[in-house]
């Protein structure tokens, strides 16, 4: 299991030692460690994201190559770089609730993207309150952007025909280029905005 290790049990030692050794030692994933510093301001800023249903993309950065177990997809190598994951939020609480979930430390892993969080920290969110689900269109557009690769087949796309909903970039992908392409491809597309994670200075740097 990623981000978690349990000390080995040794029955030859003092009972108290054994008791202490049985206690699991938690190693916080990178994003959660980073998240502790930015949590307050970022979470309050994220209240500005509309509670409407819509489509979103998470922009993440992996600072060094790591192996991550991604649910049923098994162990996967996440190399250093930028990642864009596309999803949609058409359940209760809409975009705001979903974005807050991605920003908060995880209690349990549910989706493939939850496993990636142990290797890559969230830097920004692109979102649109367009009432029609656009995630597959977004995945196609992002896949076609300059420098995009899809390193893990079927990541986040187990129930659709897209090869993947996760794309790797180096250097960082441009939000304005993405928005331009989406609006060019579908002029009737609803407005697309970006939310930057971090301090105001980091947020300015992450905005484009
Ligand atoms: Zn899809």
* The pLDDT of residue 65: 95
| Residue 122 · residue 203 · CB < 8 Å | no
Evaluate if residue 39 carries a pLDDT over 90: no
User: End-to-end CA distance of the chain, in Å?
Assistant: 35
- For ligand 1, the distance from its centroid to the CA atom of residue 110, given in whole angstroms, is 18
Whether cis (ω within 30° of 0) applies to the bond prior to 128 is: no
Q: What distance in Å separates the CA atoms of residue 101 and residue 183, rounded to the nearest whole number?
A: 27
pLDDT digits (tens, 9 = 90+) for 137-164: 999 999 999 999 999 999 999 999 999 9
This prediction's pTM: 0.78
- For ligand 1, the distance from its centroid to the CA atom of residue 89, given in whole angstroms, is 13
- For ligand 1, the distance from its centroid to the CA atom of residue 163, given in whole angstroms, is 7
pLDDT digits (tens, 9 = 90+) for 40-91: 677 878 888 999 999 999 999 999 999 999 999 999 999 999 999 999 999 9
DSSP string, 69-105: E-GGG-EEEE-SEEEEEEEEE-STTHHHHHHHHHHSP
| Residue 49 · residue 96 · CB < 8 Å | yes
- For ligand 1, the distance from its centroid to the CA atom of residue 123, given in whole angstroms, is 22
């Amino acid at each position: 299991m990623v981000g978690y290790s349990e000390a080995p049990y040794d029955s030859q030692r003092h009972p108290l030692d054994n008791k202490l050794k049985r206690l699991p030692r938690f190693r916080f994933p990178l994003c959660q460690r980073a998240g502790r510093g930015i949590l307050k301001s970022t979470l309050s800023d994220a209240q500005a994201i509309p509670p409407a249903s819509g489509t979103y993309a998470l922009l993440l950065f992996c600072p060094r190559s790591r192996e991550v177990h991604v649910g049923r997809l098994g162990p996967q190598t996440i190399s250093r770089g930028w990642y864009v994951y596309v999803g949609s939020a058409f359940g209760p609480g809409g975009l705001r609730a979903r974005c807050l979930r991605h920003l908060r430390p995880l209690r349990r892993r549910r989706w493939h993207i939850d496993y990636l969080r142990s290797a890559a920290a969230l830097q920004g969110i692109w979102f649109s309150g367009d009432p029609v689900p656009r995630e597959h269109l977004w995945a196609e557009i992002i896949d076609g952007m300059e420098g995009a690769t899809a390193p893990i087949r079927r990541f986040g796309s187990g129930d659709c025909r897209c090869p993947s909903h996760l794309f790797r970039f180096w250097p960082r992908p441009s939000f304005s280029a993405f928005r331009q392409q989406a609006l060019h491809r579908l002029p009737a597309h609803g407005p697309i905005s970006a939310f930057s994670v971090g301090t105001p200075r980091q947020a300015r740097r992450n905005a484009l």
